[in-house]
C-alpha cells in the first residue's frame, strides 16, 4: 500500500527477454533510453551466454532502482532461471508479468501469480 | 469468579460499565461493517482472478501471433533486424499511465496504455525491403502489448487486493474473537462486582436495622425499669413523708435530672 504514492511517474515498460521477444516489443515502441549521462536502457536481451547474475541485476534494477517503470515483462523461461527472485517479489509496483516466448510455450503452472491464484482457491 | 477470564483492567464502577457497553456496541458495528467490506472485496477479488486467468490464456495466443509476424519480418527483410532495432530505440512511443479505481475504500491502480505522437524510432527499418511486414508486425506487437498492459493492471489489482483482504480479515477476526469476548467479559465482571456490592450494602443495612431494633428494645426495657424504680421511690417517699420531711428534697432533684439525661440519650441514638 505504501507503493501507491509513487505510481504516478511510472510510464514505461521494461523487458527482459530473448532477442525475438525484445525485438518485437521494441518494434511496438516500448524501448526507451534515458538521457545521456547514464544512458539506461529499459530492456535486456538474454541469450544462452548471459549468466543468471546479469539477469538478476537487471531485474533488480528494473524493479527497485528505477522509479519510472510500471510493468516489467519477462520471458517465462528466463523467469525460471531466477525463479526464487520472482516468487519472493510481492510488491504491487512495478508489476512483474511473465510472457511466453517463441521457443518456449506458455505454461500457466509456472506463473508465480497464477500459482497464487490456484493456492488461494485451493485447486 | 471472573478474575481468570480475559478482561480489561478497569474498576468495576457504573461509569466504566457505561463505557464498556458503548465499546461493545462500537465493536459490533465495526465488525459488521468490516465484514461487509471484506465480502465486497472478496467478490471483486474473485472476479479479478477469473479475469487474470482468462487474460493469461489470451496473452499466450496473442504473443504467438506476434512472434509469427516477427518471423515474417525476418524472412522478408532477409536478415536479423534485432540489432538494428535495439540500437535505434531512443524514446518510448508506447507508454502507460496509471489511474485509480476505488473499491470499498481501497484504491486500485489500473494501467492505461497510450502512444505518443510523432515519435518514430524505426523509420528506417525495412526501408530496403519488407517495410510492409515491419509495419504489420509493429501493429501486432502494439496490440499484444496492450493486452499485456491490461493483464498487468489486473495483476497489480490482484496483489493489492490480496494484501488488503488479508488485513481486513485479520481485523474482522480480531474483533470477533478477541475484542468482543473481552468486552463482554469485562461487562460481566463489572455486573457481578456491582451485584456483589449491592448484596453487601443490603446485608449491611439489615444489620444496622437489627442493631437499631435491639438498641431500642434495650432502651425501652431500661426506661421501663427506671420508671418502675421511680414509682417505687415515689411511693417510698410518700410513705416516708410522714416520718421525715427533710431528706425528701435531695432525691427528688436527682430523679428528674436522671430522666432528662436518659431522654437526651434517646434523642442522640435515634
Name B6's bridge partners. Answer: none
Q: Which of residues 23-62 of A touch B (CB under 8 A)?
A: 23-33, 41-43, 45
- Name the minimum distance, in Å, from the CA of B179 to any CA of chain A: 26
Q: Classify the complex by whether its ipTM is higher than 0.85, answering yes or no.
A: no
d(CA B170, CA A11): 34
Contact B59 A120 (CB under 8 A): no
- Name the minimum distance, in Å, from the CA of B22 to any CA of chain A: 32
- Count other Cβ atoms within 10 Å, centred on residue B153: 25
- Label the pairing between strands B106-115 and B94-103: antiparallel
List phi, psi (to 5°) of B117.
Answer: -85, 160
Sign of the four-CA dihedral B75, B76, B78, B79: negative
- % of chain B at pLDDT higher than 90: 34
Q: Which residue of A has its CA nearest to B151?
A: A97
Contact A11 B109 (CB under 8 A): no
Cα-Cα-Cα-Cα torsion B161, B164, B165, B167, nearest 10 degrees, comes to: 160
- Per-residue pLDDT of B163-214, as tens digits, reads 888 899 999 999 999 999 999 999 999 999 999 999 999 999 999 999 999 9
- Residue among B70, B95, B160 whose CB faces A11 most closely: B95
Between A and B, how many residue pairs show a Cβ–Cβ distance under 8 A? Answer: 158
Nearest CA to A19 out of B145, B71, B115 is that of B71
d(CA A83, CA A76): 9
Q: Which residue of A has its CA nearest to B142?
A: A28
Contact A20 B67 (CB under 8 A): yes
Interface residue of B148, B154, B157 to substitute, partner A, most A CBs within 10 Å:
B148
The pTM (predicted TM-score) of the whole model is: 0.69
d(CA B145, CA B149): 6
Per-residue confidence (pLDDT) for residue B258, from 0 to 100: 57
- Per-residue pLDDT of B113-155, as tens digits, reads 887 766 666 656 656 666 777 788 888 888 888 888 888 888 8
Amino acid at each position: 500500500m505504501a507503493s501507491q504514492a509513487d505510481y504516478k511517474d511510472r510510464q514505461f515498460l521494461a523487458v527482459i527477454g530473448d532477442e525475438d521477444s525484445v525485438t518485437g516489443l521494441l518494434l511496438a515502441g516500448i524501448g526507451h533510453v534515458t538521457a545521456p549521462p547514464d544512458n539506461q536502457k529499459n530492456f535486456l536481451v538474454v541469450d544462452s551466454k548471459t549468466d543468471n547474475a546479469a539477469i538478476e541485476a537487471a531485474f533488480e534494477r528494473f524493479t527497485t532502482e528505477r522509479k519510472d517503470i510500471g510493468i516489467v515483462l519477462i520471458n517465462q523461461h528466463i523467469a525460471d532461471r531466477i525463479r526464487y527472485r520472482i516468487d519472493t517479489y510481492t510488491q504491487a509496483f512495478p508489476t512483474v508479468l511473465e510472457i511466453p516466448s517463441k521457443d518456449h510455450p506458455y505454461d500457466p503452472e509456472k506463473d508465480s501469480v497464477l500459482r497464487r491464484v490456484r493456492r488461494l482457491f485451493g485447486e | 469468579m471472573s478474575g481468570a477470564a480475559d478482561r480489561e483492567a478497569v474498576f468495576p464502577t457504573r461509569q466504566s460499565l457505561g463505557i464498556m457497553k458503548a465499546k461493545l456496541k462500537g465493536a459490533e458495528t465495526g465488525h459488521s461493517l468490516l465484514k461487509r467490506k471484506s465480502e465486497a472485496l472478496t467478490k471483486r477479488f474473485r472476479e479479478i482472478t477469473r479475469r487474470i486467468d482468462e487474460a493469461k490464456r489470451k496473452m499466450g495466443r496473442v504473443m504467438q501471433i506476434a512472434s509469427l509476424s516477427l518471423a515474417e519480418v525476418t524472412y522478408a527483410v532477409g536478415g536479423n533486424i534485432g540489432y538494428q532495432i535495439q540500437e535505434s530505440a531512443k524514446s518510448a512511443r508506447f507508454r502507460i499511465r496509471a489511474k485509480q479505481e476505488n473499491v470499498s475504500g481501497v484504491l486500485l491502480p489500473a494501467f492505461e496504455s497510450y502512444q505518443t505522437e510523432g515519435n518514430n524510432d524505426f523509420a528506417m527499418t525495412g526501408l530496403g525491403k519488407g517495410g510492409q511486414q515491419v509495419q504489420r508486425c509493429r501493429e501486432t506487437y502494439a496490440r499484444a502489448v496492450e493486452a499485456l498492459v491490461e493483464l498487468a493492471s489486473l495483476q497489480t489489482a490482484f496483489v493489492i487486493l490480496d494484501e488488503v483482504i488479508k488485513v481486513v480479515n485479520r481485523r474482522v477476526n480480531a474483533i470477533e474473537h478477541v475484542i468482543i469476548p473481552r468486552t463482554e467479559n469485562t461487562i460481566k465482571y463489572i455486573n457481578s462486582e456491582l451485584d456483589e456490592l449491592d448484596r453487601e450494602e443490603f446485608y449491611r443495612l439489615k444489620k444496622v436495622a437489627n442493631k437499631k431494633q435491639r438498641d431500642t428494645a434495650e432502651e425501652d426495657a431500661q426506661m421501663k425499669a427506671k420508671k418502675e424504680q421511680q414509682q417505687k421511690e415515689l411511693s417510698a417517699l410518700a410513705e416516708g413523708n410522714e416520718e421525715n420531711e427533710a431528706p425528701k428534697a435531695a432525691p427528688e432533684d436527682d430523679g428528674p435530672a436522671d430522666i432528662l439525661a436518659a431522654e437526651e440519650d434517646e434523642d442522640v441514638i435515634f
